């Protein structure tokens, strides 16, 4: 049996539509998993059943995270937010961590993952982010590239001793970058697993979890070994998540 991977979609409030780039499902399919796009629901017991039904989760990219979730006022530089998706992402990530079900969070998903764990975000990198003294690159990188999105635009350093380092078997990687928000204060309980050349955190993870990992780039839009390894880790970890049995 394939591991069921629940994909959190974006939600278009005006049109009452869920939307998700097919690349996420295709990446899970290629890794041997069963991709399932989740609905958005405000019914807590329904969400709990959906969570129980899944073996692992992929938290996709999307709108800006509501700064109220990390105790900040919404600044003008913050772009569109989606309260219904925020609510479900928050509840789902929290519950997946409690149940120790594998989770890979991407882009906005990574930002939300940091917020759920108690961290904060930059609401807008171009106007708020200043590289630290220790950064290799003192001028901020362009983190919001133009198409085509499969082309890498900046490097990341992968930290030794992390799950991400184990998974990729490399200390560096070139990645795409399609984000204007980013991780500010790293959440307690999480570790930074990758940094961009300008010092920005590009991946975080929770040590000791079956898999609780978040990357700021979009592996689902990039071909190559690194992307394949990330999705294989999600699917393979999820195959072991049902009562500790391999499914
Ligand atoms: Mn970036």
Q: Average of pLDDT values for 16-23?
A: 97
Mean pLDDT of 185-205: 97
Question: Known catalytic residue: 107?
Answer: yes
Split at pLDDT 50, 70, 90, the class of 240 is confident
Kindly give the distance from the C-alpha atom of residue 200 to the centroid of ligand 1, in angstroms, as a whole number: 8
H or E stretch at 19:
strand 17-19
217: nearest Cα among 179, 191, 244:
179
The model's pLDDT over 76-101, given as tens digits with 9 standing for 90+, comes to: 999 999 999 999 999 999 999 999 99
Asked if pLDDT for residue 139 goes beyond 90, the answer is no
Which listed residue (63, 107, 154, 167) is catalytic? 107
Centre of ligand 1 from the C-alpha of residue 180, in Å: 8
DSSP-derived letter for residue 15 is: T
Task: Find residue 201's DSSP bridge partners.
Answer: 195
pLDDT of 49 reads 98
49 given a catalytic annotation: no
Q: Which residue has the higher pLDDT, 74 or 245?
A: 74
- Which residues, chain by chain, have CB under 5 Å from ion ligand 1? 143, 177
Q: Tell me what the mean pLDDT of segment 62-70 comes to.
A: 97
- The stretch 160-186 carries a mean pLDDT of 98
Selected catalytic residue, list 154, 179, 180, 218? 218
Angle between helix 22-30 and helix 225-239 axes, rounded to 10 deg: 70
Q: In angstroms, what is the span from residue 178 Cα to ligand 1's centroid?
A: 7
Q: What is the pLDDT of residue 247?
A: 67
The verdict on whether 82 is a catalytic residue reads no
Report how far apart, in Å, the C-alpha atoms of 173 and of each of 102, 192, 203, 211, 224 are.
23, 15, 12, 20, 11
**Gap from CA of 203 to ligand 1 centroid (Å):** 10
Confidence band, pLDDT 50/70/90 cuts, at residue 243 = low
* pLDDT at position 187: 98
What's residue 140's pLDDT?
83
Chain-wide mean pLDDT for the chain? Answer: 96
Query: What b/e string do you get for 81-117 counting C-beta neighbours within 10 Å, with b at 16 or more?
Result: bbeebbbbbbbbbebbbeeebbbbbbbbbbbbbbbbb
DSSP states of 221-238:
G--SHHHHHHHHHHHHHH
Question: Cα(219) to centroid of ligand 1, in Å?
Answer: 12
> Any idea what DSSP says for residue 38?
P
**What's the 183 CA to ligand 1 centre distance in angstroms?**
10
The H-assigned helical ranges of the chain are 22-30, 44-53, 83-99, 108-116, 125-128, 163-168, 225-239
């Amino acid at each position: 049996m394939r591991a069921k991977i629940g994909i959190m979609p974006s939600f278009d409030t005006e049109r009452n539509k869920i939307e998700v780039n097919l690349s996420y499902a295709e990446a899970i399919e290629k890794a041997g998993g069963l991709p399932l796009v989740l609905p958005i629901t405000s019914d807590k017991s329904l969400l709990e059943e959906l969570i129980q039904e899944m073996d692992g989760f992929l938290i996709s990219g999307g709108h800006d995270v509501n700064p109220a979730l990390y105790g900040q006022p919404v600044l003008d530089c913050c772009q569109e937010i989606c309260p219904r998706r925020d609510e479900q992402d928050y509840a789902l990530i929290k519950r997946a961590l409690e149940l120790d079900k594998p989770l890979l969070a991407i882009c906005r998903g990574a930002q939300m993952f940091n917020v759920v764990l108690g961290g904060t975000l930059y609401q807008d990198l171009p106007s708020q982010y200043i590289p630290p003294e220790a950064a290799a690159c003192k001028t901020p990188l362009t983190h919001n590239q133009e198409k085509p999105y499969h082309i890498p635009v900046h490097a990341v350093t992968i930290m030794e001793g992390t799950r991400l380092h184990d998974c990729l078997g490399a200390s560096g990687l070139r990645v795409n970058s399609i984000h204007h928000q980013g991780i500010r204060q790293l959440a307690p309980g999480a570790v930074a697993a990758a940094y961009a050349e300008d010092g920005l955190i590009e991946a975080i993870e929770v040590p000791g979890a079956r898999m609780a990992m978040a990357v700021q780039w979009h592996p689902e839009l990039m071909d190559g070994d690194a992307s394949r390894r990330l999705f294989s880790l999600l699917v393979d970890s999820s195959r072991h998540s049902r009562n500790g049995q391999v499914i």
